Structure 1
Amino acid sequence: MAALHLVHVVYQFMLAAATPLAQRPLWFVVVPLMLVLLPVICRRLHHRPNAGDDERKQSKPLLPSPPGRLPVIGHLHLIGDLPHVSLRDLATKHDRGGGLMLLQLGTVPNLVVSSPHAAQAVLRTHDHVFASRPTPKVLHNFLYGSSTIAFGPYGEHWRKVRKLVTTRLFTVKKVNSFHYARQEEVRLVIAKLKKAMATGMAVDTSETMNTFANDIMCCVLSGKFFREDGRNKTFRELIEMNVALYAGFSLENYFPGLVNSLGIFTRLVSRKADETHERWDDVLENIISDHERRAEQEESADFVDLMLSVQQEYGITRDHIKAILMDLFDAGTGTSYLTLELAMAELMRHPHIMTKLQAEVRNKTPNGQEMVSEEDLASMAYLRAVVKETLRLHPPAPLLLPYQSMVDCEIDGYTIPSRTRVIINAWAVCRHVESWEKAEEFMPERFMDGGSAAAVDFKGNDFQFIPFGAGRRMCPGINFGLATVEIMLANLMYCFDWGLPAGMDKKDIDMTEVFGLTVDRKEKLMLVPKLPGSASCA
C-alpha cells in the first residue's frame, strides 16, 4: 500500500507539471517515474542477461539502436524538448545510413523512420502491415470507441469510413463547391486587416490565421450560422482541449503494462478525457439535430448533410458521424493555420521571395478586382512553390501520427515484430540532405520548372516529401487544406505590403518551435499591414 501511495503522489505531480511535451522536457516526467520504479530497476539490473549472449542468439541482424539504453525507461532520456530534432540527430549518428533505428521508449519498441528509402518501405512496400494505429485505452471512449479516421485501428470499419470521406466529402468537386465559404472568410479577414492598417499597429498574424482556419471549418462542417450562435469560439476551445490531451505525457504510451496493472493511472487521465468528450458530444449532437430539423430547407449540403444522407448506405451510426466531425475539426484547423503562419514568417525572413510572390499574384490577378479569386490561382505557379517549400521545411505534424505493425515483416534484412510502434519523422525526411539541394534553406525555386524538385509533389508518390504521409493513412483532406491556404496567402500578398514592428529586423523573427501533436512557433507573429502601391484593394 505504501508503494501504491507513492505512485499516486508522484503521478499527481506528473499530471500537474506534465503539460504537453512542448513545454516540459521529457526528463521532467521521467525522473519522478524513475524514483517510483527504482526497486524494479535494481531487480532488472541484478538479473540482466548478458547482451552479447542475446546478440549471438539472433539469426538476423539487429536494427541499429543508440547506446545508452537504461533499464525500464529505455531511451526516453535521450529525447529532448523537440522530439523530431532529437530523433533526427540520433538517426544521423546511429541508423547506419539506412533510415531505420530502434528505440525503446519505456517498455515499448519504436521503429524510427528518418529517410525517404525507409519511408517508402513502410508506407508503400509494407503499407498493408503498418496501416494500423496504437490507441491508448484512456482515449478509447473519448474517440467514440476509437472509431475516428485519424486514430482508429485498421479494419473493416476504418476502411468503410475512409471510403466515405474520400469519395463523398473530399472529392475535387465537393472541395470546389465550398469556394463561396472560403471567399467570404477571406473577405472578412481582409476587411479586418484594412481596419488595422489604418491604425498603423502590428497585427497578431498567428491569431488571425488561426481564427480564419477555424471559421472555415466551422462553416463547412456546422453550417452558415456558426458565427451567430458562437460555435466558432466553442470549437476553438474544444480543439485546444484536444491538443492538450493528445500532446500531453501519457504514461500508457510508454508503460502500458504498468498502467494496466495500476488502474489509478487510467482513472486519473480518463477523467480529463471524459470531461472533454462530454463537451464535444453535446456540441456535435446539437449540430446533427439542427441539420436534421432544417434538412428540407437547405439549398446546399455541407459535410453533416452529406453524412446523414449516406448513413444507411455506409452503415454508420450517429457516434461515427461525431467521430468523423471531431477528426475534421482537429485536422482541418491546425494544419491550415500553421502553414499560413509559417509561410508568412518565412516570407518576412526572405523579403526578395515575398517581392517575387507579390509580383506574380498582382500580375496574374485581373485589373480592378478587389480580391484574388480561386479562378485566378491556376496561373500562380510561384504561389504553389512557396506553399510546397513551407510544407517541406515545416510539416505541421513533424512525426505524423504513430503507426503500428499488425504482423511480423522484414525490411532491409531486419525483422520487424508484430505490434511494433512506428514513428515516421516526416520533418527529417523532408530535410534529408541526400534528397534535397540546400536542404535547410527556404528556396521555393526548387519546385519551379527547371528546379531540382520541379517534378516532386506531396501526393504520396515522392517519399522525400511526405508532409501529409502516404499510403492508406495519408491525410484525405489535402485538397481542402491547400485550397484554404492558397486563397488566403494569395490575398495577403495582393492586398497588402508587410512590415515588422518598429525596431524589429527580419533577423529578429524567432522561429523557435513548441512541440505537440503539431509544431507551433513559440512567439506570435506580429506584422504590420501596409497599403501596396499596385494592388487595387485600397
Structure 2
Amino acid sequence: MSSKPTTNAAMDLYYCTHIQTFAKMEQLINNNGSSWSELIIYNNSNDFIVAAATMSILILAIFWLKLTFFRSSSPSMPPGPYFLPIVGYLPFLGHDDLHKQFTKMGQTYGPIFKFNVGSRVHVIINTPELARVVVRDQDKIFGHRKLTVATSVITYGGQEMAFSDSRSTNLRKIFVFEVLNNKNIEACACFRRDAVRKTVNDVFSKVGTSLNIGDVAFSTVANVITNIVWGNSRSDKGGNNGLLGDEFQAVAAKIFELISRVNISDLFPSLAWFDLQGIKRDTMVQHKKLDQIFANIMKERIESNSKKLDDGIDIDEKKDFLQILLDLKDKQVLNLHQIKGLILDIMLGGTDTTTTLLVWAMTEIVRNENVMKRIQAELEEVVGINNIVEESHIQKLQYLAATIKEVLRLHPVGPLLFPRAPSEDCMVGGYIVPKGCFVSMNFWAIHRNPLYWDNPLEFNPERFMSNDKTTNYDLLGNNLQFVPFGSGRRMCPGLQLADKMQMYILASLLHSFDWRLPEGEKHDLSEKFGIALKKLKPLIVIPSQRLPNASLYM
C-alpha cells in the first residue's frame, strides 16, 4: 500500500474520533467568558489526553511515511561492501586477481556496485547492458579520465590519447585520420614485412632449441613498430636508436608496473608532495630515458630533412609515422610534446598489448593441437606450403581470425580497460554514479558469463565462425558482450594496425614452424593482473622447420 492512502486513512480516523473534542477546545479558547481554570480542567480530561496523543502519533507517522517515501523514491549510489574509515576497502582488495574478485563481488552486490579506496569512489560494472549506458548512451559524459601521478609524468601532463582528457578527442582525430589512415598503414607495409621476415630468420636459426615466446613476440612487435614509426631513421650499421632489445623491454615493463601500482599520493592527494612510495621519482627516471630517445631521433630527423631539402632531395617518398607527425607540427597542428605523447602511445601501448596477445594466442594454440593443425591447414590452402605469408593473405584467414577473437575473449588484454570518470552526476542501472568517480567495466567477467556464452570456459574458435548477423562479434565493440579493444569514443585508436600486426605475425610463425612444449613441461594458464592481463609464467616452446624449402626462411 502506498504512503498517500495510508496517510488519508489516518486523517479520516483522527477527525471522526476527535472532531467533537477539537470543537469544544476551540469553543473554550474563543469564549471570552471562560476562565483559565476551566480550560486547565478540560485539558486534564481524558478526551484531551487522547486527542493530544493521537495528534502526536499522527504527526510522527506522517513524518516517517514521508521520510520513507523520500528515501525509497530517491535514487541512491550503487550497493557495495562496508569499508574502513580513511583507507576504505583497500585492505580487502587482492593484488593479482582483481578481475576475479570483482566478478565474485558482482555476484553478491549485483551487476553494478561501488567501493571506496581512500578518497576515491570506484564503481564496477559487470554486464553488457549497463556497459552500454557508459560507452554508448552516455558516452560523452563518461569519455573522461583522470591522470594519476605516474600517468601525468609519463604522458607529459596528458598530452597524448590514452589518459588525456579535454585534448583527447582532438588528438584521437588527428591520430586516426592523419596518421593511421588506410593510406599510411598500407604505405608502411614494407616496414612490417622486413621486421617479420627478420623474426622468421632468427627463429629458424634456433630450430630445435627452447625459446621464450614472449621475447620472440616482443622483439618482433618492437621491430615492427619501430620500423613504421621511424623506419627512415634507422642506421645502416644496424642501429635501432636504442629502442630494441633488453633495455627498452625493461623500461617498458617498469613503466607499466609503475602505472599499475596503487599509489598513496593518488588516494590521498594531500600526501602527494611527500611521494611516500617513490613512484613519482621512479616514473620520472624511466620517462627521462624514453624522452631522451624521442628527442634525439626527432632532432636527427629534422636535421636530416633540412639537409635533404638543401640538396634538393624529396622527403615525401615512403613516409614513416615520425615524418607524418613532423609535417603536422610544421602546419602547427601538433607541438613537440604532443608528438612525443603520440609516439609514446604507439611504442608502449602497441608493444605491450600486442605482445601480451601473441603470448596468450601461442599458449592456447600449442595447448590445443587440433586448433594449430586447422590453422596450418588454412595457411597451406591460402598461402601454399612453398610460399611465405604476405599481408595480402590475411583477409582470407578466417579461422585464424576466429582463433584470435577466442583468445581475446578468454584472455582480454585489458580485463577492466582504463577507468572512466563521469563529468557530471548521472544514472546507471537506477543508481547515481557521482561526478569524478572511477568507473570500470569488467569485460573479463562479461566474456566468461554463461548468460551470453555457451560453455564459456572452453577454448572454441568455432563460436566466432557463425554467419548469424544477430551475434556479430567484430573487434569494434559493436556487440558489448565482446569488447576486447573497448567501445565508443575511448575505443583503442590503433585497432586497425594492431589487428594487422597480430594476424601477420601469428600467421608467419605458425606457417613457418611447428611448435611444442619442452619434454616434461605442462600447459599453464595462470594470470598476472595489471593494466594488461599477462601470462604469469613465460611460455617456453620448441620450434621445428615446417616448410620444405629452407630458402623461404632467409
TM-score, normalization by structure 1: 0.83
Which residue is equivalent to 2:88? 74
Q: Distance in 2 between matches of 1:54 and 1:321?
A: 57
Q: Distance in 2 between matches of 1:503 and 1:138?
A: 42
Q: Distance in 2 between matches of 1:207 and 1:135?
A: 31
Matches within 5 A, 1:243-254: 243-254=256-267
Deviations 1:417-458 (A, max 9, x none): 111111122212222221112112111101113579862112
Shift of 1:54: 12
Q: Is the 8 A contact 1:362 1:535 kept in 2?
A: no
Q: Distance in 2 between matches of 1:312 and 1:188?
A: 34
Relative to 1, partners in 2 of residues 1:494 and 1:104: Cα closer, same or farther, differing over 3 Å? same
Shift of 1:255: 2.8
Deviations 1:495-528 (A, max 9, x none): 1111110123xxx211111122212111111111
Confirm or deny that 1:466 pairs with 2:483.
yes
Q: Distance in 2 between matches of 1:54 and 1:269?
A: 48
Task: Give the letter aligned to residue 465 of structure 1.
Answer: F
Report which stretch shifted further, 61-70 or 380-389: 61-70
Q: Is the 8 A contact 1:393 1:427 kept in 2?
A: yes
Q: Distance in 2 between matches of 1:316 and 1:450?
A: 43
Relative to 1, partners in 2 of residues 1:126 and 1:286: Cα closer, same or farther, differing over 3 Å? same
Residue of structure 2 aligned with 1:496, choices 505, 513, 518 = 513
Shift of 1:126: 0.6
Which residue is equivalent to 1:380? 397
Matches within 5 A, 1:220-239: 220-224=228-232, 225=234, 227-228=238-239, 229-233=241-245, 234-239=247-252
Which residue is equivalent to 2:536? 522
Relative to 1, partners in 2 of residues 1:511 and 1:54: Cα closer, same or farther, differing over 3 Å? farther
Confirm or deny that 1:126 pairs with 2:144.
no
Shift of 1:492: 1.5
Shift of 1:468: 1.0
Q: Distance in 2 between matches of 1:85 and 1:134?
A: 24
Which residue is equivalent to 2:428? 411
Confirm or deny that 1:511 pairs with 2:525.
yes
Decide which structure has the larger Cα Rg and report it: 2
Task: Give the letter aligned to residue 117 of structure 1.
Answer: E
Task: Give the letter aligned to residue 88 of structure 1.
Answer: T
Shift of 1:62: 3.3
Residue of structure 2 aligned with 1:279, choices 289, 297, 304 = 289
Which residue is equivalent to 1:311? 329
Matches within 5 A, 1:25-104: 59-80=73-94, 81-95=96-110, 99-104=111-116
Which residue is equivalent to 1:217? 225
Shift of 1:205: 1.1
Q: Distance in 2 between matches of 1:340 and 1:269?
A: 29
SS in 1 for 2:123: strand
Relative to 1, partners in 2 of residues 1:277 and 1:503: Cα closer, same or farther, differing over 3 Å? closer
Deviations 1:405-427 (A, max 9, x none): 10111122212111111112221
Q: Distance in 1 between matches of 2:186 and 2:470?
A: 28
Relative to 1, partners in 2 of residues 1:268 and 1:492: Cα closer, same or farther, differing over 3 Å? closer
Deviations 1:209-247 (A, max 9, x none): 111111111111232417514332353333123112201
Shift of 1:59: 4.8
Which residue is equivalent to 1:26? none
Residue of structure 2 aligned with 1:115, choices 115, 120, 127 = 127
Residue of structure 1 aligned with 2:169, choices 156, 159, 162 = 159
Q: Distance in 1 between matches of 2:242 and 2:268?
A: 40
SS in 2 for 1:218: helix
Q: Distance in 2 between matches of 1:413 and 1:406?
A: 18
Shift of 1:467: 1.2
Shift of 1:310: 1.3
Q: Distance in 1 between matches of 2:199 and 2:248?
A: 19
Q: Distance in 1 between matches of 2:69 and 2:127?
A: 26
Report which stretch shifted further, 294-303 or 449-458: 449-458
Task: Give the letter aligned to residue 148 of structure 2.
Answer: P
Q: Distance in 1 between matches of 2:108 and 2:118?
A: 21
Q: Is the 8 A contact 1:446 1:454 kept in 2?
A: no
Task: Give the letter aligned to residue 176 of structure 1.
Answer: E
Q: Distance in 2 between matches of 1:346 and 1:496?
A: 16
Q: Distance in 1 between matches of 2:524 and 2:424?
A: 44
TM-score, normalization by structure 2: 0.80
SS in 2 for 1:62: coil
Q: Distance in 2 between matches of 1:488 and 1:444?
A: 19
Task: Give the letter aligned to residue 360 of structure 2.
Answer: L
Residue of structure 2 aligned with 1:365, choices 372, 383, 388 = 383
Aligned residues: 472
SS in 1 for 2:205: helix
Relative to 1, partners in 2 of residues 1:64 and 1:509: Cα closer, same or farther, differing over 3 Å? same
Which residue is equivalent to 2:455? 438
Q: Distance in 1 between matches of 2:548 and 2:78?
A: 57
Q: Distance in 2 between matches of 1:142 and 1:377?
A: 35
| Structure 2 spans left out of the alignment, 5+ residues | 1-66
For the aligned residues, what is the CA RMSD? Answer: 2.4
Relative to 1, partners in 2 of residues 1:264 and 1:350: Cα closer, same or farther, differing over 3 Å? same
Shift of 1:55: 11
